């Protein structure tokens, strides 16, 4: 028997940050905003999973843009994910997530449905 555990959207960002500090992976299931990047991939409005983790130790920003300010003004949160390919074709890249569109979180084998109630 599975018991549903609910999580308020405000806690999702905190859990992603906590997972990064603990060097854990957190899976977030969210609604894709844009069109599919490849044939057969998740399309706009589809649910898809992002496996978020801490940024790589050797990460160096490529621009001087203030991503945190951009995230805040656009209502998103930038995360590093390991289940998507970057521009060079290697696994691991950055994605922006609309926290309000996250439907489920899986952290340390516990599933949380995201709900404002």
Each residue's pLDDT tens digit, 7-61: 888 899 999 999 999 999 999 999 988 887 777 778 888 899 999 999 888 888 8
pLDDT at 62: 80
SS3 state at 93: strand
Distance in angstroms (rounded) separating the CA atoms of residues 8 and 14: 11
Distance in angstroms (rounded) separating the CA atoms of residues 112 and 8: 9
Q: Span 95-108, mean pLDDT?
A: 92
Predicted TM-score (pTM) of the model is 0.85
Q: Domain-by-domain residue ranges, the chain? A: 5-114
SS3 state at 20: helix
Residue 58 has phi, psi (to 5 degrees) of: -95, 15
Confidence of residue 78 (pLDDT cuts 50, 70, 90): very high
Distances (CA, A) of 43 to 31, 37, 40, 47, 66: 9, 8, 8, 8, 28
Residue 69 has phi, psi (to 5 degrees) of: -65, -40
pLDDT at 29: 95
pLDDT at 63: 82
């Amino acid at each position: 028997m599975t018991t549903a555990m609910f999580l308020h959207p405000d806690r999702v960002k905190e859990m992603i940050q906590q997972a990064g500090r603990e060097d854990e992976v957190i899976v977030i299931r969210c609604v894709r905003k844009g069109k599919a990047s490849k044939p057969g991939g998740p399309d706009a409005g589809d649910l898809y999973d992002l496996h978020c983790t801490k940024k790589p130790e050797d990460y160096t920003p490529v621009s001087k843009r203030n991503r945190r300010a951009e995230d805040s003004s656009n209502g998103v949160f930038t995360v590093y994910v390991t289940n998507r390919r970057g521009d060079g074709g290697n696994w691991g890249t950055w994605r922006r997530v609309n926290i309000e569109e996250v439907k489920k979180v899986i952290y340390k084998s516990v599933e949380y449905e995201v709900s404002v109630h």
